[in-house]
Each structure stands twice: as structure tokens, then as C-alpha cells.
Chain A
């Protein structure tokens, strides 16, 4: 167990825990990367993805252990199993990277994202937007006579679905945090 109580990953030995690689299937994986909180570390991680042509669907970063100078980067990426294995191995090579966890293969995990969604409209559209927000358990965090800002937390899919519904009702702007993820259990 690491100081952050997340399971020790397979990162150091990723070459041994091979899943069937070299297939063409695109997989979506959520990676949790524990890094030294030093200048440039995010640039290193992003540079790795852009330099080697990997996808980033979502990336979030924040310090999680002030005393230990550690930040946690959560990356959602897609690729063939071989590419995913490469990404993990390449991340492990970065000197200030302490741990790499592939939450998608390490067991059950929860994934959440927060979004702020501004919807402008009048009359029925406005009522409908509010009704749907209730269904999705979105909170109203700002309101004028002609607009709402909703706050919604959930999986990326749920946020996508809500945004799709708001579009015809006057969606103006959306801000999303990107995914935070944690493995389930102890």
C-alpha cells in the first residue's frame, strides 16, 4: 500500500502481466498516475502523449498529498491493448512518476466528473430544463430570469446525456472538470 492507500499497481512489472496485446480493439482506460509535485511534471506527461501520438480523452491533476509533494493525475485514454500497455510503460519511465495504476484492469472503480452548464431560455423550455435538471439531480447554482447555471456530478456519460438534452432547450456554455477516479473497496 502506498501512503495514499491506493493499491500498489502492476506498473513496475507491466511487461509481465500481459493481456492479449496486438489486437485492433480500441479500449478506454482510466489511469491514475501518482507524480512528484514539481514544476514541469504535467508538461512531461502531456508531452509524452503528444510526442508519441497517444490519445487523451480527459486529464485532471491536483495535489493530493501536500507533505509528500505528490499530485495525482487521472487520465482517460483510448487505444489498442498494445498501445495502452506502452502508455503505462512509458509513463513509468518518467523520472518523477512514482506509480501508475490502470484502474480499468485493477478491479472495480468509481469515476466522477463535475460540470457547470449554462442554459438560457424562456417559457416552456425553461420549465423543461428545470424539470430535467431535477431528474438528473443537477443543482441550480446561479439563476437569472432568462438563464440557469446547473451543477451536475456524475460519470462522463451522464454529463454527455444531460448536455444533449439541454441543447435544444438553450444550452449556452458548458465547463467540465474532467474525470476523477478511485478504485472501490479498501
Chain B
């Protein structure tokens, strides 16, 4: 019954790990060929794989794990998916209904534990309701602001038989979020677009979640208005990095021109972003002179932290279409003189060239490694995942994304250990594509067991590890904030990554000389199978630009800033 429901929902891949409480479902899986099951090495890996699968396809990712420890191991992944609005359907086994509450073997209050880290969850106590609940689960995961759902299925409910309810027969619940924007607000936004002298589009993951049409409309809108555009970490690729209106990423480690434009604009059009604290910096000094429009499918995102002048609740694609049509019908007006001056100002900011660095000497700079990786892989059918840390920010800064769904990174939760399994999920969905995980050595070790999964399913994922033998991002903060007392931010007793790869039967490459880098990267790309690339880089490089916590956008630290103790006072309590 479970498998039938999944098939009807168009599922082709399930990431999972068996155990006593899900054996009946595994038995069903064994007896069919429509759904491929990927046996992971740790349940956290399964959830991140499903996230990678979901983000690169736009379809919900599906996970199947057992009760108790299986379910608790999934919690980090669920929270990650909730914060990044990724649609997942996670099925967990549970002890039989008559044993619930008795502290039975491998019993955990899974719906209780996961209530705050799912969009919704269900404990199915009656087989009659099982298929309908699964269909409802998919509906909730995909609809509105997407998110992870969990369905907890006691073993006796799995064993019992009942009549299967096909998808079409299940009444989609009352849960039907608003998708069309309010015409009055749309008109206000069009008016603002016509008059703004210093506009900026500030876009986020909502554009990507809304689907390809949203990215298409966004591109059309940017080209037609000539407004500059920046994006959050989550939204990279919705507008192409090669586009001429592209300012680069904004935020704590965003580009100078992007943050200065946010600070100085007179109209900010937020499309599917949520004024996260990594973006806004100090709230009372955030973009002080702008009118703010905010398009979001989730009403609770609006006015949560920043007061919005033009709130539009709706799906990005629907709203953008309406805005574009109305703006065209009213004569495609923009403030040409204002815009020309604004771009002149932006060009001055751009001239600061905030990402410049010097590759000199015999040690590879991490920025250089990513620049070369970008150069040697751009234009290919390529997907990039990352772990969390400095390497993640450098990847966002130095790599260019031309299309949506090509960039998977843990934004909201910042989960070390996300990238490797995510890259496996992406490769499952796109077997022929080049899938690279830009990693830090410390993050990568958090889910390195999944190398076994990559080998088993012949998934040629490339693990590009920027090995600085440091918890680099932590070390940077200790330098800036804690008087250079480097408490526990060394990566000690690191494995030999080449031998580690070989122990799993994968290929290992180590590179430490800038002169060898290009060849080594090409060797990685051309190898047909999983590769662990140990790129030894400069150990004490800092990630700039940086807006120190507690400071506004125009107080950015650039690369040549005096770094030690740069964050002081009130900012020190912020993370």
C-alpha cells in the first residue's frame, strides 16, 4: 500500500535504511521494480540526499527509516529542510499501536520530537487512512511554502490490509495557500517600479521553489526594467551570474556592490527572500531610505523583522506575471535618468573589486582553487553542492550559477555534513551530470560514511575538499572576535584522504602546488567514479568581504582590513 501510494505520487527514488519497524515496507519494496531504493550509511545522510534530490529536480524527496534511532537520526535533516523550505516526505516506522507509550524497544515519540522540525506530521493509527495520509503528505510538502513532512507508521498498521485510496479520490485538504497576489498591492508595486531612482531586486530561494517559470519571469523583468539584482545564498541561479544586471550575492559575506546597493537604494523589491539576519545585519540601520516591497507565499515572512511598505502574499511566478503584465500595459515606464546615475554609482562600487586576491607563492589560496574549478567546469552540465564554512562562502562568491536548481547548500541551518550526501542525491537524479561538492575537511568528515553509498550505486560524485586543517570559519571568528584565542578550531588527526578514498574503492587525489591544480582538477572531472580531492590550501585565509555582526551594510570589512578584534561591543553576542 505504501509503495503503491509512492508510485502514484510519481516517486522513482527512496533514500532509506531498514530496521525492525519498517520491515513490512521493505518487503513490499523488494517485490517491485518501479521504485529504486538507495541504501544509505546513516539516516542523516538519507535526508540530505533527499534534499539534494528535491532541490535539483523540484520534486519532493522521499526517505524511509525505522523507528527510534532511525527517526532521531533524521532530525537534523528535517530541520535543515524546514529552514530551507525543501519538500520532503519522510516515512518512519513505529512500534505497533498497542505498544505505543510502553517504552518499547526502539520506541521514540517521533511525532513529538519532529513536530517543531516538520511542516506537518502524522501518526497513522489505522490502515484505512494510510494511503490517504501519504497523498495528503505530498500535497502539504509541495503546496505553499514547501517543507518536510513526516508520516509515522506503526508496524501493525503496515501489516494490516485495507482498501487503497487512489490519489484522485483523496480530498485535498483545506490546506490551500493563497497564490495570486492582491491586485491593489501589485498596482502599488508597479507604480513604485515606474518612479524609483535607485531600485534593486533582492531575490531568494522562493524564486527557485516557485519553479522554472518564476526564474524565467524574473529574468524578463530584470532585462526589461534594467534594474540591478542581487540574491541571497539560497537564490543563486534564479538570475544568471553572467547577466549584466547581476551584482552578486548579498549579505554577511556578500559582494560590496550588492550590499552597498541594498543600503543605498530607494526601492527594494524582495522576491521570495525573508530578511534573514545574515542578510540584514543591524536592523535599525538596514537600508534606511528605501521603500520595501516583499513578495512571499508565506504571510508570516512579511513584517516578521523588517517593516514592509508593499506586502504581496502569493506565489512568486503568479505575482511576477501580474506585475510584468500591468507594468507593460501601463507603458513600460522607468525613471531613466535616475537609473543611469544609479548604475554609475554601482559601477564605482564594483570598481572596488571586493573579491580580488593574490595567488602567489607555493601554497594554493582557496579562492584560487575555486576560481580554477569554476573556469574548468563552467558551461558544463554541472551541479554544485557545499558543506558549511569558509569554503561555502567562497564557492558562493567565486562560482557562477546560470540556472536555478544547480546550487545546493545548507543556508538556514548551516549544517556541516550536508554537502556530501546532498551531492549523492543530486547525482541519483542526474546520473549523467557533473556533480561537485565543495567541502571543508571538517564538514566532509561529518558524513564521510556515505562514500560507501556513492560506491555502491556507481555515483561519480566529486568531493572537492578545501583542506585548511582548520575549522576555518570558527577560526576566523576567533580571530575577529576572541583575541586570536583559537580554542578547538584545529582539525587534528586528519585522515589521509587519498588512502581513505582508496579504502572505499574510490579515487583519491591530493594537490598542494598551484602549478598542478588545473591538471589535478581535470583528472578529477575525467575520472568515471567518485573522487575525493584533497586540495591543501592556505590555512589562515579569511573570508571577505564581511559585515561584522551588529553592523549595517555600509560597514563592511574588505580583504585588506585589519582583522583582529574587528567585532566588538554589542555585535559580540550575535552569531
**Would you call B338 an interface residue if the criterion is a C-beta within 8 Å of the partner chain's C-beta atoms?**
no
**Would you call A86 an interface residue if the criterion is a C-beta within 8 Å of the partner chain's C-beta atoms?**
yes
Whether A85 and B120, one on each chain, are in contact in the complex, defined by CB atoms closer than 8 angstroms, is: no
B158 to chain A minimum Cβ distance, whole angstroms, is 19
Whether B119 and A18, one on each chain, are in contact in the complex, defined by CB atoms closer than 8 angstroms, is: no
On chain A, the residues within 8 Å of B313 by CB distance are 13, 15-16
Whether A16 and B303, one on each chain, are in contact in the complex, defined by CB atoms closer than 8 angstroms, is: no
**A window 80-113: CB within 8 A of B:** 82, 85-86, 89-90, 92-96, 98
Whether B300 and A86, one on each chain, are in contact in the complex, defined by CB atoms closer than 8 angstroms, is: yes
- Give Cα A150–Cα B46 distance, bound, in whole angstroms: 59
- Report if A85-B303 is in contact (Cβ < 8 Å); known contacts: A13-B313, A16-B182, A18-B311: yes
Whether A18 and B123, one on each chain, are in contact in the complex, defined by CB atoms closer than 8 angstroms, is: no
- Report if A95-B173 is in contact (Cβ < 8 Å); known contacts: A16-B311, A89-B300: yes
The residue in B111, B145, B175, B185 that gathers the most chain A C-beta atoms within 10 A of its C-beta is B175
On chain A, the residues within 8 Å of B299 by CB distance are 12-15, 89, 92-93
Whether B303 and A12, one on each chain, are in contact in the complex, defined by CB atoms closer than 8 angstroms, is: no
**Would you call B178 an interface residue if the criterion is a C-beta within 8 Å of the partner chain's C-beta atoms?**
yes
- Give Cα A47–Cα B120 distance, bound, in whole angstroms: 13
Whether A86 and B120, one on each chain, are in contact in the complex, defined by CB atoms closer than 8 angstroms, is: no
B509 to chain A minimum Cβ distance, whole angstroms, is 45
Whether B300 and A90, one on each chain, are in contact in the complex, defined by CB atoms closer than 8 angstroms, is: yes
- Give Cα A14–Cα B299 distance, bound, in whole angstroms: 7
Q: Which of B174, B300, B303 contacts A93 (CB 8 A)?
A: B300
Q: Which of B119, B120, B174, B308 contacts A98 (CB 8 A)?
A: B174
The residue in A15, A44, A92 that gathers the most chain B C-beta atoms within 10 A of its C-beta is A15
- Give Cα A169–Cα B264 distance, bound, in whole angstroms: 66
Whether A43 and B307, one on each chain, are in contact in the complex, defined by CB atoms closer than 8 angstroms, is: no
On chain A, the residues within 8 Å of B140 by CB distance are 95
**Would you call A26 an interface residue if the criterion is a C-beta within 8 Å of the partner chain's C-beta atoms?**
no
On chain A, the residues within 8 Å of B308 by CB distance are 15
- Report if A40-B111 is in contact (Cβ < 8 Å); known contacts: A12-B178, A85-B303: yes
A170 to chain B minimum Cβ distance, whole angstroms, is 42
- Give Cα A105–Cα B247 distance, bound, in whole angstroms: 43
Whether A15 and B303, one on each chain, are in contact in the complex, defined by CB atoms closer than 8 angstroms, is: yes
**Would you call A143 an interface residue if the criterion is a C-beta within 8 Å of the partner chain's C-beta atoms?**
no
- Give Cα A98–Cα B174 distance, bound, in whole angstroms: 7
Interface size on A, residues (CB 8 A): 26
B171 to chain A minimum Cβ distance, whole angstroms, is 13
Q: Which of A15, A86, A92 contacts B311 (CB 8 A)?
A: A15
- Give Cα A96–Cα B182 distance, bound, in whole angstroms: 25
Which residue of chain A is the closest to B309 with respect to CB atoms? A18
The residue in A14, A89, A93 that gathers the most chain B C-beta atoms within 10 A of its C-beta is A93
**B window 299-331: CB within 8 A of A:** 299-300, 302-304, 307-308, 311, 313
Whether A93 and B116, one on each chain, are in contact in the complex, defined by CB atoms closer than 8 angstroms, is: no
- Give Cα A36–Cα B123 distance, bound, in whole angstroms: 15
- Report if A43-B115 is in contact (Cβ < 8 Å); known contacts: A13-B182, A95-B173: yes
Which residue of chain A is the closest to B175 with respect to CB atoms? A95
**Would you call B298 an interface residue if the criterion is a C-beta within 8 Å of the partner chain's C-beta atoms?**
yes
Q: Which of A21, A40, A93, A94 contacts B298 (CB 8 A)?
A: A93
- Give Cα A22–Cα B299 distance, bound, in whole angstroms: 17
**Would you call B483 an interface residue if the criterion is a C-beta within 8 Å of the partner chain's C-beta atoms?**
no
| Given pairs A16-B311, A94-B120, 18 additional interface contacts (CB within 8 A) | A12-B299, A14-B299, A15-B303, A15-B308, A15-B313, A16-B313, A18-B303, A21-B307, A36-B174, A39-B123, A44-B115, A47-B115, A47-B116, A89-B299, A90-B300, A92-B300, A93-B299, A95-B173
- 7 pairs of residues in contact across A and B, judged by CB atoms under 8 Å: A13-B178, A15-B311, A15-B313, A39-B123, A86-B304, A90-B300, A93-B299
Q: Which 5 A-B pairs have the closest CB atoms?
A: A89-B300, A95-B120, A15-B302, A15-B311, A15-B299
